[in-house]
Each structure stands twice: as C-alpha cells, then as structure tokens.
Chain A
Amino acid sequence: MSGFVSTRLRGISQHGQILAAAILFAAGAILEPNFLSRFNLSSIAFQYSVIGLIALGQFPVILTAGIDLSQGAIIGITAVIVALVAQVASYQLGVGAALATGILVGLITGAIVSFTRIPAFVVTLGMMSIGRGLALTISSGQPIPLLNPAFMELAHLRLFDVPATFVFFILIAILLALFLSQWPLGRALYAIGGHEENARLTGLNIKFLKMLAYAFSGLMSGLAGVLLTARLGTGHPLSGTNYELVSISAVIIGGASLFGGIGRVSGVVAGVLLLGILDSMINLSGISPYVQGTVKGAVVLIALAFSQLSLSRGARR
C-alpha cells in the first residue's frame, strides 16, 4: 500500500508541475510578442501533441518499471506503412494497417519482456534497431510521398479553432487518467511497479498487464507515425528518431519514477506542455540555434533538480 501513499504525496509536486507550466506560459505570453500568435500556438500544439501521445504511451510502461526505447522506430515503420498502403489502396486502410502494426510490435515487445527475464531496456533497444531496420528495408531508405490530400488534411483539422490533434491528445489523456485511477486493471499497473512480487501474489496477471502496457505504447507510437506522415506529406523511414528520449523526459519531468509505481497522467501532460512551451520560448527568443540545446538541457536539469529536492524534503521515503 505504500505505493499508493507515496503516489498521493507525489501528487503535490505534480500540481507544482502544472503550476510551473502555467507560469512559463504566462512568461512566454508577456516576454515574447509572437508567443500567443495563432501560428506559434498551433505549431507547438501539433508538435507537442504528437510527443504527448507517445508520452501517454510511455507512461504506463514506466509505471510497470519498464521503459520503451522502440517508440521512435515504431513511428518510422508506421510512417512508411501508412504512406505505402495509402498509395496502393486507401488512406483509411493505411491508418488501420499502421495502428495494427504499432499494436503488433508492442505486443511482441511486451511478450518478450513478460515471458523472459531480459531487461525491458535491452528488449526495446533491440526492437528499436529491428524496427528502424525494417522501416529502411521496406522503404529502401527513401521517403514515400503521400499523394492523398484528404489524408494530409487530417493534420490540419481544427475543432473550435483548436488543432484537432491537440484535442485528441487531451481526450486520450483524460481516458487514460480515468482508466488508471478508476479501473482495477489500471490501478493494477501501479501495483506492478510498486512491488512486482506482491502484485503477483495478490493474483494479478502481470504478463497480461505488461503486454497491455507495451501494446498501448505501440498503438500511441503508430498514431504518432500516422499524424507525422499526414503533417509532412511523406512517410519517412527516419521519422520519429530520438522521440522516445523526449517522451521519457516528459514522463520523468511529469513526476513519474523510472523505478515504476509512481506518477499521474496530469503530471505527464504538464511535463509535455512544459517542454513544448520551453521549446517555443527558446525558439522565439532569437538565441543562436547552437546555444539552444545548452539552454534547454540546463533548464530541464535545473527544473528536475528543484522538483527532486522539494520532493525529498517533503516526502522522503
């Protein structure tokens, strides 16, 4: 039960992350005249909705004390698949094939992680290499043009003048939050990360739950691959390179623990927004692009250090 108690305590600091995202947003609006422009907001909203979707996929995996390094590679494969199928059949079929591929790769990863004793890091590192290799092989290393205007429209849809991808991201975040907090299956994911042996002894089907988590991560990566392809107009085999590192950062900034069992969806969303707003502010500030990496890295590390220090003062285990 201590897992649930510490989840509560961590909740305080996650409100801190939402607050930090809000403050950063206000600062951006005041300091940068172009920050609130329609163009800027929609471009952050699109890019970080895609990252947000895979962060939502990464989160349940990290809850089970796992990690999914194969997300970027799945984006690459699904980007190629959706474009190829859209060329020969219809884009609807392509989207279906891409999402099915994402789920399939996730299921394979989840099966290897839960049925063997190979660490998730190694399994997903291997899957990353395999996935990227397959994406390059299927496409012969060339980007595949998308000749379907209706499909490309998907990335530019707006609902109530908000980019539809962003609405979609928030909607999935709400569903995931409800699932993790209200459904027994969702709460069981926290139990696995808190103490796997205890969770097993209480009769939870750990293998099934882990496969579910990786399959969901695969599905979200497939979705990201489809959206990126629609946005770019080509299915690029190298699409999504290093995205898994961003999604892991967002989850950790959101207050989750890499050792599993701790974290909330609201924190993950705040983590994604923080990264997005920071990115946009640094872009608009006119700092040389070479220095931007230093600023971003330093700000993220300092923010993490503060949240970690306040956390250990408030609730030391």
Chain B
Amino acid sequence: MSLKRSPSPKASAPAAFVARLTSSNTEGSSLTRLLVILCIVAAVGAVASHGVLLRPANLSNILQQNAVLLVVVIAQFLVIVTGGFDLSVGAVVALSSVAFIGSLDYGVPAAILIALTTGALFGIVNGMLVTFVRLPSFVVTLGTMQIGYSLAKVWTGGGTLDTAPGGAAIPRSLLAFYTTDFLGIPLPVWLAFTILGGAALYLRTAIGHFIFAVGGNSRAARLAGVPVSRVRLVAYTVASLIASVSGLLFAMRVGYGDPQAGVLLPLNSIAAVSIGGVSLTGGRGHLLAGFLGVLIIAMLDNVMNLLGVSVFLQPVVKGAIVIITVFIYSRKQNRDG
C-alpha cells in the first residue's frame, strides 16, 4: 500500500515484485472488487430473471454445467501467473478423456493414472520448450494443442470412444458421480473445490510460491536466487495435470472420450482469468479470481438463456462484458499505481 504514489506506470513490473515481498494486501483488494462485481451481476441477473437465477436448483445446475471449465481455469491461472498462456488445455482435456476411456480395460484406477500421466507429459513438454528452448508459450502451446487433438483422433480413429478396445465402458457409478449432489452442491464441483484447495497448497510450497516472482519479473527473481526454469517447468506440468483431471470430469459427464472436446476451453479460460482481474503479463492475481470469473460468465450465460437472448447474440454480449470488466480493473489498477 506504500506504493500508491508510484511515479510511473512503467515501474509497475519491478514494483509488483517488491509489492509481493512487502505486502500481501494488493491481492486482497482486487478480490474484494471481484466479489463486488459478482454480487452486482448476481443481483442484476436475479432481477432480470425474476429471481430464477438465484434459486438453489438453478445455481447448482450452473455450477454442474461449468465444472469442467472451473477446473481448467485453475490450470490456466497457474500458467498465466508465470507470464505465459496455455492454449493446450482443451487438447489435454480431449486427449485425457480419450486416454481414460481407452484404457478402462485395465481397471478404473489404472485408466485414471494413464489419463493423468498423459496430461502431465504434455505439461512437461510445454514447460521444457518454454524454459529451456525459450520459445514463446503462445506458439508452444498452440503447437502442442494441435498435437494433442491429433493424437486423440489417432487413438479413437476420428470419432468418439464409447468403450475401451476390450469392451470395458465407463462404470455407472462414475456417471452418477457427475449428477449427484452433496450438501446441495454437485460432486464434480466438490472435486473442483478440492483441486482449488490443492492448488492453494501448491502455491504454499517453495516451488509454487515463486510463480508470482517469476511472472512479475523473472530477471529479478533469478538474481534473487529463484530457480526460475524449475518453477516454470513445474507450473506447466501441474497445469496440464489439472487440465487432465477436467478431462476425466468431461468423460464422466458425457460417458465417452471425445477427441474434439474442449475447443473453446483455452480462450474461455483466459477470458475468465482476465475477468477475474489477473494480469495477463503475469505476476499478479488471486487463485480465486479465475474461479469467480467463470461464475460471472456462467451466470451471464444463464440469465441470457432464461431471457431468451438469441444464441447468436450471446457471444456479442460476452465479448463486451470481457472488455468492460477488464477496463474497470485497468482503471482501478491505474489509481492504485
């Protein structure tokens, strides 16, 4: 907070680095703003939809429909904070859903393990290319996105995959997992909360804690003794691992593996993270930001559907909301220095 009178906006990257070392308040205040925006959207939506939006059944429905995105956004957040992008999240979701269904012959635990390993491998490749070859994350993950979708199609022969080669299909109990509620909240959303908790723990570890420093100013971080390459590599790996968990969720939701799943996930997750007020240049943001960003978009979608807004017009409104919310943040950030 002592940085309120920062002399020039250009000093913000190193200033953010110092701010992270000296105060933890900067994130708290951005989270408050986000909660205010969320409440406004909820209130306006509730009025516009005559209260339907806030009915428990409807809210639970919104959460359930967005469980996959809620998990993916955690992955995207981790990469964006390091100063990168992960465009391969959708491909990892598709490939891990296929890998999971395709290896059900070996039993569910083994299939889950195979799916998660596939995801983690993608993260390792992304991380290696970004850290050791120093390619921009945008092109790296664009390339691995193409590879991921292609491998998923090779695995299934192009279409969706209902059963493993030996005939094992997804067990009913797992299909039920997606639709069961616990304490009024769907189980897949509980899973998303669990992963959120896991990510919070990861941010407390020595290696996870440094992703803010690496994203804020990697040179300063390196000079301060932070193992920058290792921090990035682990962040990409953890992110892809989380994306593959949401691939499992996707498979449980639809009951098959889909090599074309998640095409919209990369840009939707980046949009949600931006709406959450996370800086796309890295180094700043709260773990909950992307999560709440998804809720804002999801409520908006829901209200537009309830009001019968044409599906063709909905992206126009969503695009405008993304620009306007980030505009509000950029002004507030300006004032805070």
> Which residues of A does B touch, CB under 8 Å?
69, 112, 116-119, 121-123, 125-134, 136-137, 140-141, 197, 245, 248-249, 252, 257-258, 288, 290-294, 296-298, 300-301, 304-305, 308-309, 312
> Are A126 and B322 in contact, with the CB atoms below 8 A?
yes
Residues of A within 8 A of B133 (CB): 304-305, 308-309
> Are B319 and A133 in contact, with the CB atoms below 8 A?
yes
CB-CB nearest 5 A-B residue pairs: A293-B150, A129-B319, A133-B315, A133-B316, A297-B146
> Are A133 and B314 in contact, with the CB atoms below 8 A?
yes
Which interface residue of B146, B313, B330 has the most chain A CB atoms within 10 A? Answer: B146
Whether, in the assembled complex, B6 has its beta carbon less than 8 Å from a beta carbon of chain A, the answer is no
Residues of B within 8 A of A132 (CB): 315
Task: Give the size category of B's interface with A.
Answer: 35 or more
Query: Which residue of the partner chain B has the closest CB to A130?
Result: B319
A-B CB contact pairs (8 Å), 23 listed: A117-B334, A119-B274, A119-B281, A122-B323, A128-B267, A133-B313, A133-B317, A136-B312, A137-B310, A137-B316, A140-B312, A245-B142, A249-B139, A252-B139, A290-B150, A290-B154, A293-B146, A294-B154, A301-B135, A301-B139, A304-B133, A304-B143, A308-B134
> A117–B337 Cα gap in the complex (Å)?
13
A290-B158, A294-B151, A298-B147 known; A125+B315 contact, CB < 8 A: no
Chain A's nearest CB lies how many Å from the CB of B277?
Answer: 11
> Are A129 and B154 in contact, with the CB atoms below 8 A?
no
Residues of B within 8 A of A288 (CB): 154
> Are A297 and B150 in contact, with the CB atoms below 8 A?
yes
Residues of B within 8 A of A130 (CB): 315-316, 319-320
Query: Which residue of the partner chain B has the closest CB to A197?
Result: B10
Given contacts A252-B136, A291-B150, 9 further A-B contacts (CB under 8 A): A117-B330, A117-B331, A117-B334, A118-B323, A197-B10, A290-B158, A293-B149, A305-B133, A305-B135
Residues of A within 8 A of B106 (CB): none
> Are B10 and A126 in contact, with the CB atoms below 8 A?
no
The residue that A305 contacts in the complex, of B129, B310, B315, B317, with Cβ under 8 A, is B129
Query: Which residue of the partner chain B has the closest CB to A109?
Result: B323
* Chain B residues touching A, majority SS: helix
The residue that B143 contacts in the complex, of A116, A141, A301, A308, with Cβ under 8 A, is A301
> A140–B312 Cα gap in the complex (Å)?
7
Residues of A within 8 A of B331 (CB): 117
Residues of A within 8 A of B135 (CB): 301, 304-305, 308
> Are A293 and B274 in contact, with the CB atoms below 8 A?
no
The residue that A126 contacts in the complex, of B140, B144, B323, with Cβ under 8 A, is B323
Chain B's nearest CB lies how many Å from the CB of A97?
Answer: 20
Which interface residue of A128, A132, A297 has the most chain B CB atoms within 10 A? Answer: A297
The residue that B322 contacts in the complex, of A117, A129, A136, A298, with Cβ under 8 A, is A129
Residues of A within 8 A of B267 (CB): 69, 125, 128
> Are A292 and B134 in contact, with the CB atoms below 8 A?
no
> A296–B149 Cα gap in the complex (Å)?
12
Chain B's nearest CB lies how many Å from the CB of A182?
Answer: 29
> A301–B129 Cα gap in the complex (Å)?
9
Chain B's nearest CB lies how many Å from the CB of A107?
Answer: 15
> A52–B190 Cα gap in the complex (Å)?
47
Whether, in the assembled complex, B271 has its beta carbon less than 8 Å from a beta carbon of chain A, the answer is yes
Interface residues in B116-134 by Cβ distance below 8 A to A read: 129, 133-134
Query: Which residue of the partner chain B has the closest CB to A69?
Result: B267
> Are B270 and A125 in contact, with the CB atoms below 8 A?
yes
Chain B's nearest CB lies how many Å from the CB of A67?
Answer: 8
A126-B322, A290-B153 known; A117+B333 contact, CB < 8 A: yes
Query: Which residue of the partner chain A has the closest CB to B154?
Result: A290
Contact indicator per residue, chain B 69-88, by CB within 8 Å of chain A (1) or not (0): 00000000000000000010
Chain B's nearest CB lies how many Å from the CB of A141?
Answer: 6
Query: Which residue of the partner chain B has the closest CB to A131?
Result: B319
> A108–B151 Cα gap in the complex (Å)?
39
Query: Which residue of the partner chain B has the closest CB to A134?
Result: B316
> A126–B327 Cα gap in the complex (Å)?
12
> Are B157 and A123 in contact, with the CB atoms below 8 A?
no
Residues of A within 8 A of B151 (CB): 294
> A292–B327 Cα gap in the complex (Å)?
41
Chain A's nearest CB lies how many Å from the CB of B5?
Answer: 18
> A89–B274 Cα gap in the complex (Å)?
42
> Are B319 and A297 in contact, with the CB atoms below 8 A?
no
A126-B319, A129-B316, A245-B142 known; A118+B154 contact, CB < 8 A: no
Which interface residue of B129, B138, B267 has the most chain A CB atoms within 10 A? Answer: B138
> A312–B133 Cα gap in the complex (Å)?
9
Residues of B within 8 A of A136 (CB): 312, 315
A130-B319, A312-B134 known; A304+B139 contact, CB < 8 A: yes
